[in-house]
Every structure is written in structure tokens, then in C-alpha cells.
Amino acid sequence: MIEIADPDAMRTWSRAERKSGRTIALVPTMGSLHEGHLRLIDRVRERVDRVVVSIFVNPLQFGSTEDLGAYPRDLDRDRAAALGRGTDGLFVPTAEVMYPAPAVVRVVPGSLADSLCGAQRPGHFEGVLTVVMKLFNIVEPNLASFGRKDAQQAVVIRRMVTDLNLPIEIDVAPTVRERDGLAMSSRNAYLSEAERRVAPALARGLDAAHEAFLGGERAVDRLVAAARAPIDSEPALELEYLEVVDPVSLAPVETAEAASIMAVAARIGAARLIDNIILGEGTGADPRVGQ
Ligand code: AMP
């Protein structure tokens, strides 16, 4: 596995691979790799000749009051984990090389950022799209894989690729969960033991809504009520949003349909956790690992 920090060197490596007829996949991450990230590597490993994993905690997507400074970082562990899953190239740029000058020109998500996390985190998806565009331009992959755990992110990235005619296939992978249903996340490291016990209530809420949906319920207020029952029973969980949105426009809907996305965000202690299901699929369809 080659490790590269310089964007020009990364592009030179990538172009040489492409010139030799090899295909490349990119898995962008912020590091602190867990099984959710590693499954993205597994998925693309089967489809391309070279897998590049980027590790970059992108300052542009963090609000001024958010956890940029505290975000967990462990490059030694990540290096071993990425290598263990067959990564060929690890791209680990610094903020200084990614943003040598202020990022004046950016990619904007438009109305796709009006709901869910976009409404709660002004500028977040602009920061995400801008860095993903930069990573795409640096690595020039044929394929890039993202997790459905960040459902809004996957939608805005797919839309960027469509609207800006980027020659890259986007793969979106199911959410990898702990055995008790909690979606795996680097931010789960912020949870105390007591908070960790409470956190799966989010997934239980989504499962309850999914059950109601499968039972024929389509009214969003009743689906939300079903999801809220387990969540509200945990006072430590401070709900930020719980919405059902259209899978393309991400606009809230009043009547759910198959493929509508139910998404939730909640604060618990120092952590802000997000999760979602695609109605008709449910969290039960997601892979589970761990204890
Ligand atoms: P992050 O490092 O949190 O920015 O995540 C990097 C990529 O991994 C993103 O595409 C995420 O959606 C994806 N990801 C994070 N957690 C999970 C998970 N539990 N299951 C599947 N994909 C995930």
C-alpha cells in the first residue's frame, strides 16, 4: 500500500494506474475507520483494480461550534485497517495542502440542503461537496463508494455527479450496524457507557416506524409517532429532527411511499448521532456486526 499526502503526487500515481489500463475506486473518509468504512472498501475491491482510501478531516464541513478539534484521529490504526482490507493507496493530505488559500469557490447543494442535517448545519454540505469534488479531481476515480448512513450526503453527491456531468460511478452501501442496531459511526466514540446503552433507541424508533409502514401506515405524522415512542422513552436523547423526505428532492412529505427516507438526528451527551431507513427496506435489512 502506497501512502501519499501530496495532491499532485496522488494524481500522478492515479494517472499512471489509469494509463496502464487499471480502474480505480475511491472511498473518502474522515478516518477513525470502523467496519462501516471497511465494508465500503470490500465492496469496491471486487469491482476495480486499485482502491484508494482518503483520510481527511475536512474543516470546511464543520461549523464553528462543532467537533473539528475533538474528532477522533488515529492514523496508525487506520493504516493497518485499510491495508488489512486490501487498500492500494492511502491519501492523507493535510488541511494546509487541501486549502492552501481560503476556499472561495465552492460547490453548493442548493435546495437539497434545506432539510435534515442541511437545515441544522448551515454550510455543511457545501463543505462536503467541495471536498468531494476536490478528491474526485485529485484521484480521478472510476467509482466512488459512500454509506447510506449519511443518506442526505449520498443524495447530494449523486446529484452533484449528475448535474455537473462527472464521469464517476457512485456506489451507495447499506448502513453497517452494531448487533443492537446502533449505526456504526466514528462519533460513537464520544458515548459514555450509559449513553451507549441508550443510543440504539434511535434504530429501534426507525424499526418501529418501518413496522407501521409495512402494516400499511402511510401518514407521516403517525409514522413519526411510532418512531418517537422508543426515542422519547430515553430522556438522555435530545431529538434534533425526525422527518420523512422524498428520496430525490429531500423535501419533507406528508404521505410516505416505498423508498421515502425516514431520517433522525439526536444529541446525546457530547455526541450528535444520525440514522435513517428507506421505508420498505428497514434497518433489519442492514448488515450487523460487533457485540
Ligand atoms: P466518515 O468518515 O464518517 O465521513 O464516513 C466516510 C464514509 O463512510 C461515508 O460515505 C459514510 O457514509 C460511510 N459510513 C460511515 N459510517 C457508516 C456505516 N455505519 N455504514 C456504512 N457506511 C458508513
pLDDT of residue 290: 66
pLDDT of residue 133: 98
Is residue 78 lining ligand 1, measured as CB closer than 6 Å? no
Atom of ligand 1 nearest to the CA of 40: 22
Q: Angle of helix 124-139 relative to helix 7-19, nearest 10 degrees? A: 50
pLDDT of residue 270: 93
What percent of the chain stands above pLDDT 70?
99
Q: How far is it, in rounded angstroms, from Cα 159 to Cα 146? A: 13
Å from CA of 216 to ligand 1 middle? 31
Å from CA of 258 to ligand 1 middle? 24
- Which residue CA neighbors atom 6 of ligand 1 most closely? 29
- Which residue CA neighbors atom 5 of ligand 1 most closely? 29
Q: Which residues of the chain have pLDDT under 50?
A: 291
Q: How far is it, in rounded angstroms, from Cα 53 to Cα 79? A: 10
Give the start-to-end residue ranges of the domains of the chain: 2-173, 186-278
Residues 68-125: tens digit of each pLDDT: 999 999 999 999 999 999 999 999 999 999 999 999 999 999 999 999 999 999 999 9
Å from CA of 128 to ligand 1 middle? 13
Q: Is the CB of residue 31 less than 8 Å from the CB of residue 3?
A: no
Residues 148-170: tens digit of each pLDDT: 999 999 999 999 999 999 999 99
Taken as a whole, the chain contains a residue count of 291
Is residue 55 lining ligand 1, measured as CB closer than 6 Å? no
**Does CATH place domain 186-278 in 1.10.287.610?**
no
Q: What is the CATH number of domain 2-173?
A: 3.40.50.620
37 is catalytic: yes
Q: What are phi and psi of 247, to 5 degrees?
A: -70, -15
